């Protein structure tokens, strides 16, 4: 199997199951035009997040890592009119592009974008009494994944779902000696997921237009 074949199958699945959408297409075009890196989730992955949020009946969502707001749009569209999504982004340029994309998608009233390093903005959210969130999507700098998971757990309730992207890293996660801080971040995260008694978690490998990677899904089983 090759990247070419994974991309062709992703194209087929997306053409068949994920109809083209003006706001989402415009968000990707504006992100590319502004020079943002193409590290957003793929369309069929965006729809997976959207469906997970709907299956969960989510009314509140927290996203760590906005980029141009592509996954944000997918997630926010799963919310009812009274729903709320808070997304955290550290790069001012990414935040500016995301705000315009969210405006164009008609989601400015539902989505609150907080600019700053997530390890600074997360404690502020907690201090403001925000949360618990029904669904939390972690997709920012991977070395901080263990810290993001700890914050996600603090901002959860029993029944919250936490999704963490890019947890396989082309298979590099099986190397305990890896010098890659992202690989070490994922390995430390997995240790936490395995030992934290308040959650039940799994992870799967994925292939597609975004290459070979994976996704962890966590259910919070204890808490308020
Ligand atoms: N979730 C987005 C999507 O699928 O459309 C992609 C997010 S991209 C993989 C990761 C984003 O996290 C980047 O925009 C990056 O600037 C942001 N980021 C990196 N470090 C961060 C930090 N410490 N705090 C907040 N955001 C951060």
pLDDT tens digits along 199-214? 999 999 999 999 999 9
Per-chain mean pLDDT for the chain = 97
Between the CA of 113 and the centroid of ligand 1 the distance, in Å, is: 12
> Has domain 3-220 been given CATH number 1.20.120.140?
no
CA distances in angstroms from 96 to 16, 56, 69, 92, 114, listed in the order given: 32, 30, 10, 6, 11
Contact (CB, 8 A) for 191 and 164: no
CA 134, 54, 81, 96 dihedral sign is positive
Burial of 122 (0-12, 13-18, 19+ CB in 10 A): buried
Band (pLDDT 50/70/90 cuts) for residue 181 is: very high
Length of the chain in terms of residues written: 224
Q: How far is the CA of 223 from the centre of ligand 1 (A)?
A: 28
Q: What percent of the chain has pLDDT over 70?
A: 100
Three-class secondary structure of residue 148 per DSSP: helix
Among residues 198, 176, 202, 201, which one has the least CA distance to residue 188?
A: 176
ipTM, 2 dp: 0.99
Report which protein residue has its CA nearest ligand 1's atom 6: 40
Residue % of the chain over a pLDDT of 90: 98
98 lines ligand 1 (CB under 6 A): no
CA distance 71 to 57: 17
Domain ranges within the chain, ordered by starting residue = 3-220
Pocket perturbation via mutation, ligand 1, pick of 40, 65, 135 by most ligand atoms within 8 A of CB:
65
91 Cβ below 6 A of ligand 1: yes
């Amino acid at each position: 199997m090759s990247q070419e074949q994974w991309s062709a199958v992703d194209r087929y699945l997306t053409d068949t199951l994920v109809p083209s959408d003006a706001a989402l297409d415009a968000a990707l075009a504006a992100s590319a035009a502004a020079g943002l890196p193409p590290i957003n989730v793929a369309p069929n992955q965006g729809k997976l997040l959207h469906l997970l949020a709907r299956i969960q009946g989510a009314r509140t969502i927290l996203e760590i890592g906005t980029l141009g707001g592509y996954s944000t749009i997918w997630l926010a569209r799963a919310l009812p009119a009274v729903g709320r999504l808070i997304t955290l982004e550290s790069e001012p340029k990414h935040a500016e592009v995301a705000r315009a994309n969210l405006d164009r998608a008609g989601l400015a009233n539902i989505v609150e974008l907080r600019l700053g390093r997530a390890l600074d903005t997360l404690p502020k959210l907690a201090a403001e009494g925000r949360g618990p969130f029904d669904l939390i999507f972690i997709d920012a700098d991977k070395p901080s994944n263990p810290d993001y998971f700890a914050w996600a757990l603090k901002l959860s309730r029993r029944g919250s779902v936490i999704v963490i992207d890019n947890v396989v890293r082309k298979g590099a996660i099986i190397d305990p000696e890896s010098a890659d801080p992202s690989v070490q971040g994922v390995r430390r995260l997995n240790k936490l997921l395995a030992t934290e008694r308040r959650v039940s978690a799994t992870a799967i490998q994925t292939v597609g237009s975004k290459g070979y990677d994976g996704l962890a899904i966590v259910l919070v089983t204890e808490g308020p």
